[in-house]
Amino acid sequence: MGEDLFTNFDGRGTDLYHAALRFRLLRQQGFPVSLDGFRKLKNSEGRFKEWLSRDEQGLLSLYEAAHIAFDGEDILDEALSFATKNLKSILLTNKNINNAFQRQIDFALLVPAWKCVPRSLARHSLDFYSDQGALLQNQKLLTFAKLDFNMLQSFHKQELRELSEWWKSIDGATNFPYARDRLVECYFWIICIYFEPKYRVARVLNAKIYIVLTTLNDTCDNFGTYEEVQALVKAIQRLDARALDELPDRMKNMYRLTLNVYDEIEEEAEKTGSTFIVEYAKEEVIMIH
């Protein structure tokens, strides 16, 4: 049934918005949706039908859907080109366009939904729909969306506080004064991958790994001598506490931080019966260095 949602679109009405939206949502979830619906958007001469250029909401939905294409799906490339051209034309020529919708088009042309960080897209979408005022058909849904966003953001702020307290507890600013302060940036990288509450432990641990890696990078580039860095790299390839005594004093804090974070990973993995991930995590840091 899911595969027929777009295929059954006859290409003669004005409900392009919902047809393209269904296609995009199904594709995002990995369903093999047919491209027949897109072919119905063309006339006998192989061009996209003229009425499509006047369907502003439909064009935006078509534009977003066309980004989820596989190699060889030329019709999606054509649809993307057609939608992009006409959306830009709408911005230039339609003086009566709703301000919120205009900003939505501007943002989509800059960062398509398929290529946007989910939480960033959610934040911008809340602004777009809030500005529609009475034009918005489901105010309750918008209210719930705002509550959900704010609750999750509060959850993320708490995790960020935990990371800040951890960094202070190891006296990071004193032990690594040469390192760039990238704690918030490292945490944001993780939110881009998985933001749901159930991944709290994975987010915090991965943020710590990124902090270790960026601090290691600054240690090698801006702090250690060639000989010190060589010794540190060899120790990291072992990830063995016994290697600590073999390191120059200036490299010991960095190595100790690395070991402590990977010990924490191992402890959390044991709690969930996922100890196999520890070796993969170690292999990755060894490969980088």
Distance CA 91, CA 48 (A): 20
The least confident of 42-46, 84-88, 131-135 is 131-135
Amino acid at 192: C
Predicted confidence band at 2 (pLDDT cuts at 50, 70, 90)?
very low
Residue limits of CATH 1.50.10.130 in the chain: 4-116
- Rounded to two decimals, the pTM is 0.81
Give dist(CA 216, CA 212) in Å, integer: 6
pLDDT band, residue 94 (cuts 50/70/90): confident
Mean pLDDT, to the nearest integer, of 150-157?
96
Classify domain 141-288 at the CATH class level: mainly alpha
Q: Which residues are bridge partners to 42 per DSSP? A: 48
Q: Tell me, what's the pLDDT at 74? A: 94
- Token pair of 149 as six digits: 């966003």
Distances (CA, A) of 48 to 37, 45, 76, 146, 284: 12, 9, 12, 38, 48
Question: Is the separation of the CB atoms in 57 and 20 below 8 Å?
Answer: no
Angle CA 129–150–162, to nearest 5: 150
pLDDT digits (tens, 9 = 90+) for 188-230: 999 998 999 999 999 999 999 999 999 999 999 999 999 999 9
Residue 256 C-beta-side C-alpha neighbours within 13 Å? 13
Q: What is the pLDDT of residue 216?
A: 94
Query: Residue 79: pLDDT above 60?
Result: yes
- How much of the chain is in helix, strand and coil states, percent to nearest 5? 75, 0, 25
For residue 157, which amino acid is it?
A: K
Q: In the 8-state DSSP scheme, what is residue 115?
A: G
What is the total residue count of the chain?
289
Report residue 39's pLDDT band, with 50, 70 and 90 as the boundaries: confident
Percent of the chain with pLDDT over 70: 92
Range(s) for CATH 1.10.600.10 in the chain? 141-288
- Tell me what the mean pLDDT of segment 46-59 comes to: 91
Q: Could you tell me the pLDDT band of residue 270, with boundaries at 50, 70 and 90?
A: confident
The chain-wide mean pLDDT, for the chain, equals 89
Return the higher-pLDDT residue of 131 and 65: 65
Q: Which residue has the tokens 């596989």?
A: 70
CATH top-level class for 4-116?
A: mainly alpha
Residue 286 C-alpha from the chain's centroid: 26
Distance of CA 280 to the CA centre of its chain: 23
pLDDT per residue over 16-38, tens digit each?
898 999 999 999 998 888 888 88
